[in-house]
A and B are shown apart, each in its own frame.
Chain A
Amino acid sequence: MTRVIIKRIGVFVCHCGSNIKATVDTAAVVDAIQSDASVVHAAEYPYFCAEGGQQSIINAVHAHALDAVVVCACSPRMHEATFRKAATRAGLNPYFVEIANIREQNSWVHKNKEAATQKAVQLARAAIAKVKRAVPLFPGESAVTKRALVIGGGIAGIQSALDIAEAGFEVVLVERTPSIGGKMAQLDKTFPTLDCAACILTPKMVEAATHEHIVLHTYTEVEKVAGYVGNFSVTLRKRARNVDMQKCTGCGDCYAACPVKRIPNEFECGLSNRAAIYVPFAQAVPNVPVIDRERCAYFRSGKCGRCAEVCQPGAVNFTQEDEILTIECGIIVVATGYQLLSPDMFGELSYHDSADVITSLELERFMNAAGPTGGKLLRPSDKQVPRRVTFVQCVGSRDTTRGKPYCSKICCMYTAKHAIAIKEKYPDSDVEIFYIDVRTPGKNFDEFYRRAVEAYGVRYIKGQIGKVVTTGDKLHLQAVDMLEGRRYNTTTDLLVLATAIEPARGAKTLAQMLNTATDTNGFFSEAHPKLRPVESATAGVFLSGACHGPKDIPETVAQASAAAAKAIGVLVKPKLVTNPCIAQVNETQCNGCTICNAVCPYLALSRDGERGCTTVNAALCQGCGGCAAACPSGAVDLLGFSHAQIHAEVDALCLQPTTHANAAPIKHTNNAHGGTTDD
């Protein structure tokens, strides 16, 4: 590694408009740091990130023959790349740029201008001390596997898969359940246009299944993820269907013949039953049944096999076992969606005590022509059409004590949709909705809600239900009408709960496998809430749909396409530029103890048996620095964050009194950390 002695440093103090300048006396910072003999140029400017600002840095590099640059500005996460590019344009190695974060870590969090100015000076001195020990670094290259993996086969995953496949890349679409389609396949109509959900979804499901570039794996789960952007290696468990996908014609003779018939159908929210061999719904893709081994009489007792007897093509295969597949792919799209919060915590609403208290998703199935009642809204208890239907919103949403603190976003609109649908089908019925706030931001959303009130006579009551008691065939509601300011007790025939939505089961485990972050509620976190909304914090992992937070269908589809566009942006690249800030082992100091190998989360370190020391796989290393901290003999250094640099920063912060700018830096008496020093 070339060692460049850095003697001519330029320091650039940014105002960030008033973001920094209002709290930090930038002129004083410029004055103070010039006492350092290595600082041959110091300047301030309103916005160094702007074109004029960057040009002034480039000009200064030329004019003062600078060999390193320190920018006192915002977080390096914001503009480090900007200033590194500017340095490259000026002819410097980009790693001779250090950022002193005097915005997020200083001006934004302090009020006292004098103290903040002093802190800015100290942070600048630390950055100067660090850059003095910088070495030039050169990024490497890695290949890109031209294949995408999409996890989750709901509308989000289907859309992302189709968009990536249309761009000409191979896509592997993985779905946990026996069919793709997700939650949207369960819906009756969609707001605010009242399109039939199946009519717009099923063509997409078929397209995804038949697309020449899409390989579909249903009844399959992700078991393990290894690798990094461009070169992921994902292990899938394709569960045994016990039905041969190639031979099966989808005739349905098997489930007609199956004697085990009283199993609650998950797709129908348990409102109707299925057999032990089943397809979840009529339009399932693939239209191939699956045997529920836990319920199947053959698997439980070895006696039965009726399905195999009736199957003409001989597709039923009891000996089939789970298959383990390894998929090499360049990017991963997460589209794992959501599930409904269980109303268990809300005993006062009697969900478990009364058959006539149902969730909104159950209502979708009742309203659906393909549902358990053929589209007739019949009370579960007596199979009669309810004369009055009552909805209650925010069950578990906006609830910091028993539910979720967030707004589930879609409930106001789907409840209005349900109300309109019921009024359309049964004009004589009475529909009332208990709400806290009606939230309808979205194109044509408020018009839709007002139509429910004005054209359909749906009664909205600001208030909540405190208690539900079943008497005879009626539900007695103890509620409150907030606008009247009084108790409102009423009876109803059917109560529908708009329960909160939460991340799908297993989202957290998947996030851990992908090494990416989830928020406090378990939804996947985006890399930046405004500027990188569909990328996760892990390079090459993109987010699509409700796995990222509650979303309606148009928003999900938009995000799915955005994630696909970002994914294609990676897949089209011939090579990826790798981060040169990775671990480096000083082989003369390494004694091969392998402590570092054990702490590495990316499996980038391994022991070279012949030489008796650890070696770094540069392609796998993500530069986390865990190994550098763990190494007992100080043999591992993180390039760009070497021990010498970190120690110099700490010394600059701790050992130099702010009033004595020229105090001599204290040398380490025991420089056991493998860093070079030019003190």
Chain B
Amino acid sequence: MTTVMIERCMTCGRCSAACPVAFAMDVPPHFWAVRVRQGEGESLARAEAIWSCLACFCCAARCPRGVRPVELAEQARSVTLRKENHTATFADETVLQIISKKSGKAIPQQLIVAAMRKKRA
């Protein structure tokens, strides 16, 4: 279950067109709402894309239907972390290390900023 209004998505693609990292994602944002809607949220949680997401909210800002794909990625990340019994909060160093390990890349700076912003809020 998700609070994101996935049924509103009309697959126009504006999220993926706007996303600054969609080019590097295995599953670009315009698939996310559809996947969850089709009961394939698990496959989204397994995708590398959710760890590439910068949480910049560009997709949410550009979506003409008020869907917020960024929150799907966030929820998928949380679910995955909890399943692996990581009790740490998102902004903790351990989490950032996990993300780094999972994505096999250096942590994008913007993700750290976004995480810090969230923790402080």
Residue pair B16, A400 in contact (C-beta under 8 Å): no
Residues A480 and B13 in contact in the complex (CB < 8 Å), given A466-B18, A466-B19, A486-B28: yes
From known contacts A348-B62, A401-B64, infer whether A436 and B18 are also in contact, taking CB-CB under 8 Å: no
- Whether B95 is near chain A, meaning CB under 8 Å from some CB there, is no
Asked if A139 lies at the interface with its beta carbon under 8 angstroms from chain B, I say: no
Residues of A within 8 A of B10 (CB): 398, 436-437
Kindly identify, within residues 79 to 108 of chain B, every residue whose CB is under 8 Å from any CB belonging to chain A. Answer: none
**A467 to B16 Cα, complex, angstroms:** 11
Interface string of B15-43 (1 = CB under 8 A from A): 11111001100001011000000000000
B interface: dominant SS? helix
Asked if A178 CB lies within 8 Å of chain B CBs, one says no
A462 at the interface (CB under 8 A from B): yes
In the complex, which residues of chain B have a beta carbon less than 8 angstroms from the beta carbon of A401? 63-66
Chain B contributes a number of interface residues (CB within 8 A of A) equal to 22
Contact B17 A464, beta carbon cutoff 8 Å: yes
Q: Interface residues of A, CB < 8 Å — how many?
A: 24
Q: Mark A398-434, 1 if CB is under 8 A from B, else 0.
A: 1111110000000000000000000000000000000
What A residues does B17 contact at CB under 8 A?
Answer: 463-467, 478-480, 487
**Complex interface: chain B residues within 8 A of A465 (CB):** 17
Q: How far is the CA of A402 from the CA of B14 in the complex (A)?
A: 13
- Say if the beta carbon of B78 comes within 8 Å of chain A: no
Query: Measured between C-beta atoms, what is the minimum distance from B14 to chain A in Å?
Result: 4
B75 contacts the other chain (CB 8 A): no
Q: Is the CB of B28 within 8 A of A480?
A: yes
Q: From known contacts A464-B12, A480-B28, infer whether A400 and B18 are also in contact, taking CB-CB under 8 Å.
A: no
Taking CB atoms, residues of chain A closer than 8 Å to B31 are 485
Whole-angstrom distance between the alpha carbons of A487 and B28 in the complex? 8
Alpha-carbon separation in the docked complex, A464 to B66 (Å): 16
A400 touches B65 (CB 8 A): yes
A-B contact count (CB 8 A): 70
* Cα separation A464 to B31 with both chains bound (whole Å): 14
Q: Are B66 and A480 in contact (CB under 8 A)?
A: no
- Complex CA gap A593/B58 in Å reads 61
Measured between C-beta atoms, what is the minimum distance from A340 to chain B in Å? Answer: 17
- Could you tell me the distance between the alpha carbons of A348 and B20 in the complex, rounded to whole angstroms? 13
Q: Does A507 make an interface contact (CB < 8 A)?
A: no
Which residue of chain B is the closest to A482 with respect to CB atoms?
Answer: B13
B8, B16, B58: which contacts A480 (Cβ < 8 A)? B16
User: Is A464 within 8 A of B65, CB to CB?
Assistant: no
- Whether B13 lies near A462 (C-beta < 8 A) is yes
Closest to A481 in B: B13
- Taking CB atoms, residues of chain A closer than 8 Å to B12 are 394, 398, 436, 463-464
Nearest Cβ on chain B to A143's Cβ, whole angstroms: 52
The reply to whether A399 and B64 contact each other, CB–CB distance below 8 Å, is yes
CA gap between A437 and B12 in the complex, in Å: 8
Q: In whole Å, how far is B26's beta carbon from the nearest beta carbon of chain A? A: 10
Complex Cα spacing A462 to B17, Å: 11
How far does the alpha carbon of A258 sit from the alpha carbon of B59 in the complex, in Å? 51
Task: Report the bound CA distance from A403 to B62 in whole Å.
Answer: 11
- B-contact 0/1 string along A469-485, CB 8 Å cutoff: 00000000011101001
> Residue on B with the closest CB to A402?
B64
B23 touches A464 (CB 8 A): no
Among candidates B13, B23, B58, B63, residue contacting A463 with C-beta atoms closer than 8 Å:
B13
| Residues of chain A contacted by B28 (CB below 8 angstroms) | 480, 485-487
Residue from the list B13, B23, B58, B64 in contact with A400, Cβ < 8 A: B64
Give the complex CA separation of A462 and B13 in angstroms. 8
A482: which B residues are within 8 A, CB to CB? 11, 13, 16, 30
Contact yes or no, A487 B64, CB < 8 A: no
Contact string against B for A residues 173-213, beta-carbon threshold 8 Å, 1 for contact and 0 otherwise: 00000000000000000000000000000000000000000
Nearest Cβ on chain A to B5's Cβ, whole angstroms: 10
* A window 445-471: CB within 8 A of B: 462-467
B-facing residues in A486-523 (Cβ within 8 Å):
486-487, 489
Most buried by A among B13, B14, B22, B62: B13
Residues of A within 8 A of B64 (CB): 394, 398-403
**Cα distance A487–B23 in the bound complex, in angstroms:** 5
Complex Cα–Cα for A401 and B12 (A): 14
B18 near A348 with CB under 8 A, answer: yes
What is the bound-complex CA distance between A466 and B62, given in angstroms? 8
> B37: shortest Cβ distance to chain A, in Å?
16
B19 contact set on A, CB distance < 8 A: 466
Name B23's closest neighbour in chain A (CB-CB).
Answer: A487
Chain B residues with Cβ below 8 Å from A485 are: 28, 31
- What are 28 A-B interface contacts by the 8 Å CB criterion? A348-B18, A399-B65, A400-B64, A401-B63, A401-B64, A401-B65, A402-B64, A436-B12, A436-B13, A466-B15, A466-B16, A466-B17, A466-B19, A466-B58, A466-B62, A479-B17, A480-B14, A480-B16, A480-B17, A480-B28, A482-B11, A482-B13, A482-B16, A485-B28, A486-B23, A486-B28, A487-B17, A487-B23
| Leading 4 A-B pairs by shortest Cβ distance | A466-B17, A466-B18, A399-B64, A480-B16
Q: A436-B10, A465-B17 are in contact. List 4 more A-B contacts (CB 8 A).
A: A400-B8, A480-B17, A482-B30, A487-B16
